[in-house]
Amino acid sequence: MHRTFTARAALVAAALVLLAGCGSSDKKSTDAAATGGIKLVKSGELTTCTHLPYPPFQSIDNGKVVGFDVDLIDLVAKDLGVQQKIVDTPFENIKTGAALNAGQCDVAAAGMTITEERKKNLDFSLPYFDATQALLAKKGSGITSMDTAKDKKVGSQASTTGEDYVKAHGADPVSFETSDAELNGLRSGQVQVIVQDLPVVNGWLKDAANSDFEIVANLDTGEQYGFAVKKDANDELLAKINAALTKAKSDGTYDTLYSKWIGDKPTG
């Protein structure tokens, strides 16, 4: 009697597993159909990997992640009929493709410069922002360029093109995990000058707490930012991102968001 009951229970359990598997498959198919054939790592959400904080591209305001990148990816999520969910992860895991390969997210949006090295691990969208770097130091520091900075203690954010730039110009930078930590390193005297993207620095200088500091040099590095998806695995989502960017630039939405988060667009 006990054996018979166990056998029947096993059969029922196996049937339930089979049904559950069919249901899961059907649900994934339905989800993909609802988003134009695009499979998302989590149903009903476009999951975005970023590295916080990095204002004005992404930062936390009153418990919510906001910024230029956030608003642009929201346009993609709206086209897909889903909500954007943001995951904070180390930048190293973003630029190497590790976060996307591990299924942590569908898209990476982290104020990330498009480089040939990163293209080996990621598929990038159309460029959405022309970036330059800046050197920030205390007023009266005497630092006026990278040449005059390289013999000083220079701070940089880890794994960034800014850090690469400092190294390429003969300096051995003190590396900080986040932009906030980098700024605090300058404030506390750990370093005498830091390199960071110009919009980030401009945002810092709006804070009265940073009034003792100034931009001592602009560095035109010719960089462009792009959003990224998993390498050779998500052409459909990449096409959606590019379409959203193209539409935003043609209908004025991009300019509105640029003005909101960055300021006046450069001319010429």
Q: Any idea what DSSP says for residue 150?
A: T
The per-residue pLDDT for 37 is 78
User: In CATH, which superfamily holds the domain spanning 132-223?
Assistant: Periplasmic binding protein-like II (3.40.190.10)
Burial of 66 (0-12, 13-18, 19+ CB in 10 A): middle
> Does this chain's domain 45-128+226-261 share its CATH topology with 132-223?
yes
More confident call, 179 vs 16:
179
Extents of the domains making up the chain: 45-128+226-261, 132-223
The per-residue pLDDT for 120 is 98
Nearest 5 degrees, angle CA 182-CA 184-CA 187? 120
- Per the document, the length of the chain is 268
Q: State the CATH class of domain 45-128+226-261.
A: alpha beta
The per-residue pLDDT for 265 is 79
Strand ranges, E, within 167-255: 174-176, 193-197, 213-225, 228-230
What is the distance in angstroms between the CA of the first residue and the CA of the last residue of the chain?
A: 87
Neighbours of 230 (CB within 10 A): 22
Confidence of residue 35 (pLDDT cuts 50, 70, 90): low
190 by DSSP, 3-state: which?
Answer: coil
Using one digit for the tens of pLDDT, what is the confidence trace for 53-97? 999 999 999 999 999 999 999 999 999 999 999 999 999 999 999
More confident call, 150 vs 204:
204
Give the separation between CA 98 and CA 88, rounded to whole angstroms.
Answer: 13
- Residues 6 or more apart whose CB falls under 8 angstroms from that of 153 comprise 174, 190, 191, 192, 193
- Which pTM does this prediction carry? 0.80
Using one digit for the tens of pLDDT, what is the confidence trace for 235-247? 999 999 999 999 9
The per-residue pLDDT for 28 is 45
